[in-house]
Amino acid sequence: MLLLLAIGITLCVVAWGYLVYAAIDFGSTARHENDSEAWGYLAVAAVGAVACLFLGFMLVARFSRALGFTKAPDPKPKKDPGAPKGGKRAAR
């Protein structure tokens, strides 16, 4: 499992770097040549880069949990079934 997470993180970081580089290149082309097609590619590359970075961060969080650096949050205590509904205001 750790190997798969490490490979996934690596692929996400590499894809993110490539998409950022592509977005910079498309932005330069769109700006200097006023190419509307390049603006579309810029938008797609930017959204893809954001998605790759988000996925990479999620995989890093799972990786750190698998290694034991972090732990799951404690479960919330169950409410008392005999407690009045609606809080203090409703109990008056």
Which string of DSSP letters, residue by residue, matches 5-29? Answer: HHHHHHHHHHHHHHHHHHHHHHHHH
Domain for residue 82, yes or no? no
pTM over 0.95: no
When pLDDT is cut at 50, 70 and 90, the band that residue 81 belongs to is confident
How confident is the model at residue 5, as a pLDDT?
Answer: 92
Domain for residue 16, yes or no? yes
Residue with tokens 């993180």: 9
Q: Determine the structural domain holding residue 61 and report its residue range.
A: 2-67
pLDDT tens, position by position, 18-77: 999 999 999 988 888 887 888 899 999 999 999 999 999 999 999 999 988 888 888 888
Domain for residue 30, yes or no? yes
